[in-house]
Amino acid sequence: MIIKGIFIKFDMIKNKTLIFTFLILNSFFLVNKSLSQNLEQGKIIFNNFCQTCHQSNGKGVPNMYPSLVKAPLLLRNNTTKIIDYILKGSQGQKQAIDGEFFPNDMPAQKDVLTDQQIADVLFFVQKQFNSSYNLKKIMPETIQKRRKLIH
């Protein structure tokens, strides 16, 4: 009787361990699937909204549109400034971007792209053009908070 009880307890522990392992692995694959979906969506958004100026290789056009490859603004992880540029654009501001002036305006995207779309396109830019750097992924919630402040 005691031996049978020990086996039952062992089976229960084994089952709980298997279930726990399954849940951990499942969440890992869901996160990776979600990240790959974010990357794919970001690529689509980049191709539709950003590529014309920043070019498919992200290098922009010298003296016209800034490069996104190894761009100091991106590499410094200045989240607030990055989000502001995308939401508000640069129309009429003619501010220097990392010390260089560009004559063409960046259109505001606050009424065009959702928070998730902006997060996805930033993730794509980080991975596609700056993958050798450990850049912090900008989350939609961060963009949402910033959006509320710039109305």
Residue-range domain boundaries for the chain: 37-149
Q: What is the token pair recorded at 70? A: 């190894």
pLDDT in tens, 4-35: 544 445 455 555 554 555 445 444 444 455 88
Which of 108, 117, 106, 105 is closest to 144 using CA atoms?
117
pLDDT greater at residue 1 or residue 144? 144
Give phi and psi for 105, each to the nearest 5. Answer: -80, 150
Alpha-helix residue ranges (DSSP H) falling in the chain? 2-45, 51-54, 72-75, 79-88, 115-129, 140-149
pLDDT in tens, 65-75: 999 998 888 88
37-149 CATH fold:
Cytochrome Bc1 Complex; Chain D, domain 2 (1.10.760)
